């Protein structure tokens, strides 16, 4: 055995196990959230208890994955069977964190697996190492953990708790912006390397450090130009528009959409129950899981979309106004500070990622007078845009249609529980992960399509 190779590999192995353990703990938290949030329970207190006998669990029962295995799937106190879903979710999130860490930081750029160039999956910036880029990676982990929680809850209840979308968005805003500010303080400003051997994605910091960044950052780091300040103005103006819209709601000038939905739903369920009883059916038939889809029958979707359009108007106007005004207000000879550009980038990711879904929701609901998509889906993709950028969010949104098609085909083939209609949120989450794992090939395919379209002679 080559002991020197083993010793060299140990730090990487320990790092991999660390992120797997973090993922298992996040999976355990996800189980708590998935159980308590739909029931309106506090997610912190009381401490974890057996759902059957209500006995408070000790630290031994709360060990992710291994606690369930040591108990052989049964409660230590009442011997009632504990669902295997708990260790499955914990193991899944642990594997998800470990896989992304391995692909981002351990796999060499030229690595292949079954003929697939898996070394190309990691973004360019990860080659600078974990110690330098950990804030961006932690923001990604916040997103992945939240996506798992949103998927489970949405699949069960057809709702997405908005706090699960706000947490990764807030983490991205803080981590990405602070990361950019720290880098400039620690290394100084960046300058593009013009030598052909280095390529346009390489930059040299003021202290001489070599920095590899994504090519999308070139506009941030190059000389000042109106386009750069225009994007920054659009991002900041859109966020200001959100603040204005929320103020209008607070002042009562705009009401929240679907404010009367709960009252209508209770009346609709009571009417359905009465009709069932009159027809000799079982009174509890409305408790079937498919009853959660009653929101499709809500008759005032078009009216509510007008209200949502009014709420969105200050946001759109803020983006347009910011993009127009800021380049004309800024006269500095230096480019925008890196932290400001990154802050605006996170805001733009949030606005465009959520805005793409919101536009489909509004126009689809206006066309069919049924709620086309849930507002939770809008916030989900806004969080994806904040963490990963608006391009990944848009790709994930359109890719979700193909994921949904694959699910439909599988349901037709397999049948059983898969025949149950699935909300769109899980498709968005799965598509987002697939985009992160296949970004290089998606870029190649889109580039080839654009080149092919440019060679087409139009009549």
Q: Which residues pair with 74 in a beta bridge?
A: 81
Q: Residues in the chain, how many?
A: 459
pLDDT of residue 431: 94
Using alpha carbons, list the distances in angstroms from residue 38 to 30, 33, 48, 167.
12, 8, 16, 17
Q: Is the pLDDT of residue 139 over 70?
A: yes
> Which range among 107-116, 166-175, 205-214, 392-401 shows the weakest confidence by mean pLDDT?
205-214
Tell me the pLDDT band of 109, cut-offs 50, 70 and 90.
confident
Q: Is the pLDDT of residue 179 over 90?
A: no
Closest CA to 157 of 268, 276, 35: 35
Residue predicted with more confidence, 85 or 146? 146
- As a whole number, the mean pLDDT across the chain is 79
Token duo for residue 184: 């400039």
Spatial separation of the C-alpha atoms in residues 172 and 390, rounded to whole Å: 13
Tell me the pLDDT band of 281, cut-offs 50, 70 and 90.
low
pLDDT of residue 248: 93
pLDDT of residue 230: 84
pLDDT of residue 285: 41
Spatial separation of the C-alpha atoms in residues 282 and 337, rounded to whole Å: 66
**Is the distance from CB of 342 to CB of 220 less than 8 angstroms?**
yes
Report domain extents, the chain.
1-92
pLDDT of residue 416: 60
Query: Could you report the per-residue pLDDT of 351-396, keeping only the tens digit for each?
Result: 999 999 999 999 988 888 887 788 889 999 999 999 988 888 999 9
User: Residue 358, Cα to own-chain centre: how many angstroms?
Assistant: 15
Token duo for residue 157: 């209840």
* Burial annotation 199-230 (CB, 10 A radius, 16+ → b, else e): eebbbbbeeeeebbbeeebeebbeeeeeebbb
Q: Is the pLDDT of residue 189 over 70?
A: no
Spatial separation of the C-alpha atoms in residues 34 and 152, rounded to whole Å: 7
* Strongest mean pLDDT among 39-43, 167-171, 294-298: 167-171
pLDDT of residue 221: 42
Mean pLDDT of 439-448: 81
> In degrees to the nearest 10, what's the CA dihedral of 118, 122, 126, 128?
40
Q: Is the pLDDT of residue 166 over 90?
A: yes
pLDDT of residue 238: 94
Spatial separation of the C-alpha atoms in residues 414 and 418, rounded to whole Å: 7
**Is the distance from CB of 107 to CB of 96 less than 8 angstroms?**
no
How many CA atoms lie less than 13 Å away from 13 in the CB half-sphere?
6
Share of residues in the chain with pLDDT > 90 (%): 28
pLDDT of residue 313: 93
* Strongest mean pLDDT among 1-15, 188-202, 270-284, 355-369: 355-369
First to last CA, the chain: 69
**Is the distance from CB of 126 to CB of 133 less than 8 angstroms?**
yes
Token duo for residue 110: 């030229």
Using alpha carbons, list the distances in angstroms from residue 307 to 44, 282, 301, 428.
35, 39, 10, 25
Q: Is the pLDDT of residue 434 over 80?
A: yes
Cis peptide before 46 (omega within 30 of 0): yes
Q: Is the pLDDT of residue 288 over 50?
A: no
Task: Sheet with 210-212: list strands edge to edge.
Answer: 190-192, 202-205, 210-212
pLDDT of residue 174: 93
> Which range among 284-293, 365-374, 404-413 shows the weakest confidence by mean pLDDT?
284-293
Token duo for residue 343: 């802050």
Q: Which residue has the tokens 């009401």?
A: 255
User: Residue 301, Cα to own-chain centre: how many angstroms?
Assistant: 26
User: Residue 354, Cα to own-chain centre: how many angstroms?
Assistant: 10
Tell me the pLDDT band of 447, cut-offs 50, 70 and 90.
confident
Token duo for residue 321: 């106004």
Three-state DSSP string of 373-410: CCHHHHHHHHHHHHHHCHHHHHHHHHHHHHHHHHHHHH
* Strongest mean pLDDT among 40-54, 103-117, 198-212, 217-231: 103-117
Residue predicted with more confidence, 272 or 408? 408
Tell me the pLDDT band of 219, cut-offs 50, 70 and 90.
very low
Spatial separation of the C-alpha atoms in residues 82 and 65, rounded to whole Å: 12
Residue predicted with more confidence, 84 or 396? 396
Q: Is the pLDDT of residue 423 over 60?
A: yes
> Which range among 297-301, 321-325, 417-421 shows the weakest confidence by mean pLDDT?
417-421
């Amino acid at each position: 055995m080559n002991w020197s190779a083993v010793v060299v590999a140990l730090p990487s192995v320990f790092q991999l196990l660390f992120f797997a353990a973090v993922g298992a703990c996040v999976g355990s938290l996800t189980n708590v959230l998935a159980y308590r949030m739909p029931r309106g329970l506090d997610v912190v207190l009381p401490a974890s208890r057996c759902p059957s006998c209500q006995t408070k669990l000790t630290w031994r029962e709360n060990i992710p994955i291994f606690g369930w295995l040591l108990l052989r799937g049964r409660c230590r106190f009442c011997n009632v069977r504990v669902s295997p879903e708990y260790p499955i979710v914990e193991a899944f999130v642990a594997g998800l964190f470990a896989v992304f860490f391995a692909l981002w930081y351990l796999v060499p750029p030229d690595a292949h697996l079954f003929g697939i160039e898996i070394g190309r999956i990691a973004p360019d910036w990860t080659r600078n190492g974990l110690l330098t880029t950990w804030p961006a990676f932690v923001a990604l982990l916040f997103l992945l953990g939240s996506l798992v929680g949103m998927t489970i809850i949405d699949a069960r209840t057809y709702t997405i708790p908005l706090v699960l979308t706000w947490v990764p968005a807030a983490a991205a805003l803080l981590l990405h912006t602070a990361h950019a500010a720290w880098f400039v303080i620690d290394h100084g400003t960046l300058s593009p390397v013009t030598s052909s051997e280095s390529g346009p994605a390489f930059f040299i910091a003021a202290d001489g450090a070599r920095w590899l960044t994504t090519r999308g950052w070139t506009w941030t780091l190059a000389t000042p130009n109106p386009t750069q300040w225009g994007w920054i103005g659009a991002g900041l103006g859109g966020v200001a528009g959100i603040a204005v819209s929320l103020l209008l709601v607070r002042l009562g000038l705009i009401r929240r959409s679907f404010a009367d939905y709960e009252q209508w739903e209770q009346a609709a369920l009571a009417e359905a129950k009465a009709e069932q009883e009159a027809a000799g059916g079982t009174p509890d038939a409305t408790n079937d899981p498919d009853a959660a889809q009653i929101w499709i029958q809500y008759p005032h979707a078009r009216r509510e979309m007008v209200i949502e359009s009014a709420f969105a108007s200050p946001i759109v106007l803020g983006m347009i106004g910011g993009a127009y005004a800021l380049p004309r207000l800024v006269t500095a000879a230096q480019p925008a500070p890196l932290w400001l550009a990154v802050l605006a980038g996170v805001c733009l990711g949030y606005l465009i990622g959520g805005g793409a879904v919101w536009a489909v929701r509004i126009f689809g609901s206006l066309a069919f007078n049924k709620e086309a998509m849930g507002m939770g889906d809008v916030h989900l993709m806004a969080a994806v845009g904040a963490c990963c950028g608006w391009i990944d969010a848009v790709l994930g949104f359109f890719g979700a249609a193909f994921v949904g098609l694959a699910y439909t085909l599988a349901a037709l083939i397999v049948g059983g529980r898969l025949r149950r209609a699935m909300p769109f949120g899980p498709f968005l989450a799965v598509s987002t992960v697939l985009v992160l794992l296949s970004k290089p090939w998606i870029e190649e395919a889109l580039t080839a399509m654009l080149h092919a379209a440019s060679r087409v002679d139009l009549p």
